Amino acid sequence: MRLLIDDADIGEIKRLYDLYPVDGVTTNPSILAKANRKPFDVLKEIREFIGREADLHVQAIAKDAEGMVRDAQAIVNAFGEATFVKVPCIPEGFKAMRLLKEKGIRTTGTAIYTPMQAYLAAKSGASYAAPYINRIDDMGYDGIHVTKEIQDIFEVNHFETMVLAASFKNSQQVLELCKYGVGGATVAPAVMDKFVNNVAITAAVDVFVKDFEHLAGEGVTMAELL
Ligand code: G3P
């Protein structure tokens, strides 16, 4: 399962890239608004940091297909071919996905709340389909269940489109989808910080260090000793 950061704060992206095996970054207009910088500047800085080959997802803003195609071309021109253009899964969006597929521009079907949207994104040639787990939960449905249904639809129909699950509220949801074999998860920094969040783990490591220091002296590690 690919693991991406769902954020546009370059400081957070650098911190998490340093710690975790991250495959790329996803953004959306709300995430860019939160960063409160010029979209081009922040996206360019992210692209420079993650490198030309890493996945970067940037959303088209226009609400009609032709406008989405223009947005997509501008996005790929600005941030490179490894950039996936996020296209909302609305009727005009499906049209845009087909047009962009013909142009060789890769898309991520986004704002997915239902399996039907994901099916149509796959049929329209999207590379990824992004169901919003937490937002589906907030509507009174089961976001994990919906995402598993989407994965089943893709497998049974032999679609190449992969699930890129988004909008997580906890690490257990990420793990649940990892077990199910979805293609990717994009996770906000606050949730990623809870991936390894257990006092028993910290305590176990502290005891190891303490025991070794008892043997070798305070602050001494293998590097000093061997
Ligand atoms: O990528 C979509 C995702 O950012 C939505 O997440 O937390 O705003 O529901 P959230």
**What percent of the chain lies above the pLDDT cut of 90?**
99
**Calpha distance 190→134 (Å, rounded):** 14
Catalytic residue among 86, 95, 101, 169: 86
- pLDDT category at 13 given cuts 50, 70, 90 is very high
pLDDT of residue 77: 98
Report the mean per-residue pLDDT for the chain.
97
**What percent of the chain lies above the pLDDT cut of 70?**
100
> Which is it for the CA torsion 181, 182, 183, 184, positive or negative?
negative
- pLDDT category at 82 given cuts 50, 70, 90 is very high
User: What average pLDDT score do residues 1-29 get?
Assistant: 98
Q: Which of 27, 84, 86, 132 to mutate to test the pocket of ligand 1 (most atoms within 8 A of CB)?
A: 132
Q: Which of 135, 137, 169 to mutate to test the pocket of ligand 1 (most atoms within 8 A of CB)?
A: 135
Q: Is 86 a catalytic residue?
A: yes
Exposed (0-12), middle (13-18) or buried (19+): which is 155, by Cβ within 10 Å?
Answer: exposed
C-alpha distance across the termini of the chain, in Å: 38
What phi, psi does 137 have (nearest 5°)? -55, -45
Contact 154, 164 (CB under 8 A): no
Q: Could you report the per-residue pLDDT of 162-185, keeping only the tens digit for each?
A: 999 999 999 999 999 999 999 999
Task: Give the distance from CA 16 to its chain's centroid.
Answer: 13
Ligand 1 atom with minimal separation from the 167 CA: 6
